[in-house]
Amino acid sequence: MKKYKIPHTFEFKSIIELYAQWIKDGTLKVNSDWNKDLKIKFTVQDPCNIGRKIGTNKIVDDLRFVVKAVVGEENFVDMVPNRSNNFCCGGGGGALQGGHTEQRRAYGKVKFDQIIETGAKYVITPCHNCHAQIEDMCHHHGGDYHTLHLWTVICLAMGILGENERTYLGPDLAELGLDIEGGIQ
């Protein structure tokens, strides 16, 4: 848009800044009580597009705010380096479709090692591309973490995650918040 200077009056927002705004003003009611005793650890993947490439840490800081609100501050483990200094997961720039699979996986090993280092059981990936790459890294390099979309964790924390919306949860969380009939508690 900027590149081609196409005139427009609408503005772009990231869903992540909206989540943060809604949590702060009380419109989106979330809490991390569900994880108080479970103490399941989460880390986040910073998509390059909303970190380094926008030139500020604003959205990736919002991302941390949202994640801490839904999993509990003490259950969030950051990768190092992070935010605008993160390593790309290796799935960007079309790499997932680019055909140089062996090289893409070698590239992603850097991110894989970072994830393993956190000891987290779950990696929250707010970008679809990162999600696909980080899942592939897990299978290929033999990790045992799970890769989640951000909306999954938010709905889980709100107790509104449906039975068929749990594909990426591990066995420890697969049934959390579901009653015996399979409906939502």
Partner 1 sequence: MIEAMKLEEFTCDFKEDVSSRIPEANFDLCLTCGTCTGGCPASEQYGMDPRKFLRMLLLGMDDEIRKSPWAWVCTMCGRCMSACPMKINIPKLIYNVRASWDRDKRPKGIRGSCDQHIKSGNAMGVPKEDFVFTIEDVAREIRETQPEFSDLEVTADRVGAYMVLNQNSREPVTEPDELGPLWKILHKVKADWTHPTVMWGGENYCMFLADEEGWRYIMEEFVYHIEHNLKCKVVVNTE
Binding site for partner 1 (CB under 8 A): 1, 4, 6, 8-15, 18-19, 22, 27-29, 47-50, 52-53, 84-88, 90-100, 103-104, 106-111, 126-129, 132, 149, 151-152, 154-155, 158, 160-165, 167, 183-184
Supply the minimum distance, in Å, between the C-beta of residue 84 and partner 1.
7
Nearer to partner 1, 41 or 166 (CB): 166
Nearer to partner 1, 2 or 37 (CB): 2
Supply the minimum distance, in Å, between the C-beta of residue 170 and partner 1.
17
Answer yes or no: are the C-beta atoms of 129 and 49 closer than 8 Å: no
Instruction: DSSP letter for 164, please.
Output: G
- Spatial distance between the Cα atoms of 157 and 34, rounded to a whole number of angstroms: 7
C-alpha angle 30-28-14 in degrees, rounded to nearest 5 = 110
Nearer to partner 1, 119 or 162 (CB): 162
Supply the minimum distance, in Å, between the C-beta of residue 44 and partner 1.
13
Supply the minimum distance, in Å, between the C-beta of residue 152 and partner 1.
6
Q: Peptide bond preceding 81: is omega within 30 degrees of 0, i.e. cis?
A: yes
For residue 62 the two structure tokens come to 């919002």
Of 156, 111, 113, the C-alpha closest to 131 is 111
Nearer to partner 1, 3 or 37 (CB): 3
CA 124 centroid distance within chain: 2
